[in-house]
Amino acid sequence: MSKTLSQNTAGPINTFLIVQVIISILFIAFLTWRLYTVIDSGAYGPDTWLRFAISGLIIGSVYSVIAIGYTLVYGILFMINFAHGEVMMLGAFAGYFVFEALKSIPVEATGLSFLDSYQIVSVILAFLAGMFISAVVGYFLERIAYRPLRGAPRLIPLISAIGASIFLQNAAQVTFGPKRRTYINPASLQRSVGWRIPVAGEEVILTYTGVLTFVLSILLMVTLYILVMRTRYGRSMRAVAEDKQTAALMGINVDRVISNTFVISGVMGGAAGVMWGIHNGIIYHYVGFIPGLKAFTAAVLGGIGNIPGAMIGGMILGVVESLGPAALGIDFQLKDVIAFSILVLVLIFRPSGIIGEVLSEEKV
């Protein structure tokens, strides 16, 4: 059967390939031309380019951490958890309330608030709170919105995910109010303050919040990667991802592994939320939506279901959307257009992503 199939489709596939190549060449030629004219015009000095690249890497690292949440769940259940952006948003709020509460506790010895007296402890507490709340949200999300639909066709849990996303957004709006809140960071983590690096006669600021975000993201991702690839527990997660029935025959409690996957995905989302708050400063009930979609794009770009893919995809997306508007000489408001154009292009030309694997029939 497969033989006749491939014979029938051999022609169209070749034509499609040729069209792909031609479009790619034209596209790259256009990009090169735009880039040349922009650089030639001298609108941006080397320091500006470096600034864009740094901010891209920092935002990209947050996208990567969120993307891992998508990819973990997809790897095990083959569903897109569209409510993951909201899981991140709730983590951001948890961190916000911890900072706010610590700011209001005076410490007599220093004459400052707890937040400014014990800054490292405060940051750790905020992250723990964000990760904990998001983990709890992730756990109940799976229990309430996805588990009852386990045997249903694949579209059904997707709709449930979108519903959960809207529900969580609105619940946050009603509970916390629609106003935008500014994250109250500890004194030495003020935004736009950092190390000054001289570049071509100008100064590029490497912000403390940015460095914290980037380093923490890498640490989280490496820890997760080791957990999944090197421990017996991670092995059991991969076994469940491959074949749930056989995994059960090994004595693995499949339902518990799925629950824990949502918890881990929530931990990553919560950490990303607090990082987002600390680095970007402003949070509100809608703050998870766009980063969520971007991270989903990053996961698809890297190859969904694949952890290193999510890391690489996030970084690439962050850098491209940060450098893109400048490189193409277009308005900076259009950076979201660049990000989502990438999603469309990847889905058309390489649905399996950069290092994605070819999906087996059973998964598709």
Partner 1 sequence: MAMLEVKDIHTYYGNIHALKGISLTVEENEIVTLIGGNGAGKTTTLRTISGLIHPRSGEVFFEGEKITETPAHELVYKGITMVPEGRGIFARLTVFENLDMGAYSQPDRSNFNDDLERVFQLFPRLKERRSQVAGTLSGGEQQMLATARALMARPRLMLMDEPSMGLAPILVESVFETIVEINKSGTTILLVEQNAMVALSVADRGYVLQTGEIVLRDTAENLRQNEMVQKAYLGIE
| List of E strands, the chain | 106-107, 112-113, 181-182, 194-199, 202-207, 282-283
* Identified binder of partner 1 from the candidate list 227, 248, 345, 354, rule CB under 8 A: 248
Instruction: List the structure tokens of 178.
Output: 């629609």
Q: Select 4 or 245, whichever has its Cβ closest to partner 1.
A: 245
CB distance 302 to 314 below 8 Å: yes
Residue 257 Cβ vs partner 1, minimum distance, rounded to whole Å: 10
CB distance 328 to 31 below 8 Å: yes
Asked if 232 touches partner 1 (CB under 8 A), the answer is: yes
Residue 262 DSSP SS3: helix
The span of 19-27, 106-114, 119-127, 235-243 binding partner 1 (CB under 8 A) equals: 235-243
CB distance 74 to 237 below 8 Å: no
Residue 13 Cβ vs partner 1, minimum distance, rounded to whole Å: 25
Q: Select 71 or 322, whichever has its Cβ closest to partner 1.
A: 71
Q: Select 23 or 355, whichever has its Cβ closest to partner 1.
A: 355
CB distance 185 to 209 below 8 Å: yes
Asked if 235 touches partner 1 (CB under 8 A), the answer is: yes
Instruction: List the structure tokens of 304.
Output: 């969904």
Residue 3 Cβ vs partner 1, minimum distance, rounded to whole Å: 19
Place of tokens 């596939």: 13
The span of 37-45, 250-258, 293-301, 331-339 binding partner 1 (CB under 8 A) equals: 250-258
Residue 223, number of CB atoms within 10 A of its CB? 11
The H-or-E segment that residue 130 falls in is helix 119-141
CB distance 107 to 113 below 8 Å: yes
What's the CA gap between 196 and 289, in Å, rounded?
A: 33
Residue 167, number of CB atoms within 10 A of its CB? 14
Q: Select 243 or 336, whichever has its Cβ closest to partner 1.
A: 243
Asked if 251 touches partner 1 (CB under 8 A), the answer is: yes
Q: Select 73 or 252, whichever has its Cβ closest to partner 1.
A: 252
DSSP per-residue codes, 312-350: HHHHHHHHHHHHHHHHHT--GGGHHHHHHHHHHHHHHH-
Asked if 361 touches partner 1 (CB under 8 A), the answer is: no
Q: How far apart are the first and last CA of the chain?
A: 18
Asked if 242 touches partner 1 (CB under 8 A), the answer is: yes
Asked if 246 touches partner 1 (CB under 8 A), the answer is: yes
What's the CA gap between 43 and 205, in Å, rounded?
A: 20
Asked if 343 touches partner 1 (CB under 8 A), the answer is: no
* Identified binder of partner 1 from the candidate list 53, 239, 334, 345, rule CB under 8 A: 239
What's the CA gap between 303 and 292, in Å, rounded?
A: 16
Residue 302 Cβ vs partner 1, minimum distance, rounded to whole Å: 17
Phi, psi of 200 (to 5 degrees): 50, 50
Asked if 245 touches partner 1 (CB under 8 A), the answer is: yes
Q: Select 239 or 330, whichever has its Cβ closest to partner 1.
A: 239
Asked if 150 touches partner 1 (CB under 8 A), the answer is: no
Asked if 293 touches partner 1 (CB under 8 A), the answer is: no
Asked if 226 touches partner 1 (CB under 8 A), the answer is: no
Q: How many residues bind partner 1 (CB under 8 A)?
A: 17
* Identified binder of partner 1 from the candidate list 26, 187, 197, 243, rule CB under 8 A: 243
* Identified binder of partner 1 from the candidate list 236, 261, 265, 280, rule CB under 8 A: 236
Asked if 151 touches partner 1 (CB under 8 A), the answer is: no
Asked if 253 touches partner 1 (CB under 8 A), the answer is: yes
What are the residues binding partner 1 (CB under 8 A)? 232, 235-236, 238-239, 242-243, 245-254
